[in-house]
């Protein structure tokens, strides 16, 4: 997979925090490893929140009485989820 280099500007407080988590004193060997882990964790969080919303919607739909169901097109679902 091709890699991309990104530049991130941090204020002194954040820079010191990152430095404390990298190298001999920290849990990560280098800043890149730390950033990749943070991004992966955030991606997992977003995916988990999305899945939890879907589960909640499905639970609500399955709990509804049959009379509450209405026909719905795929286009209507897509439009609803964009907002």
pLDDT tens, position by position, 34-69: 999 999 999 999 999 999 999 999 999 889 898 888
**Cα separations (Å) of 53 from 7, 39, 45, 65?**
33, 21, 12, 20
Q: Which two tokens stand for residue 18?
A: 């990152």
Residue in this structure with the two tokens 């820079």, named with its chain if needed? 15
pTM: 0.69
pLDDT given for residue 46 in this prediction: 98
Per-residue pLDDT averaged across 19-33, rounded? 94
């Amino acid at each position: 997979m091709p890699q991309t280099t990104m530049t991130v500007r941090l204020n002194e407080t954040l820079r010191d925090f990152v430095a404390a988590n990298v190298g001999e004193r920290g849990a990560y060997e280098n800043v890149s490893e730390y950033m990749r882990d943070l991004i992966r964790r955030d991606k997992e969080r977003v995916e988990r929140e999305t899945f939890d919303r879907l589960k909640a919607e499905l639970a609500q739909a399955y709990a509804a009485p049959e009379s509450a169901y209405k026909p719905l097109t795929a286009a209507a679902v897509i439009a609803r989820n964009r907002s």
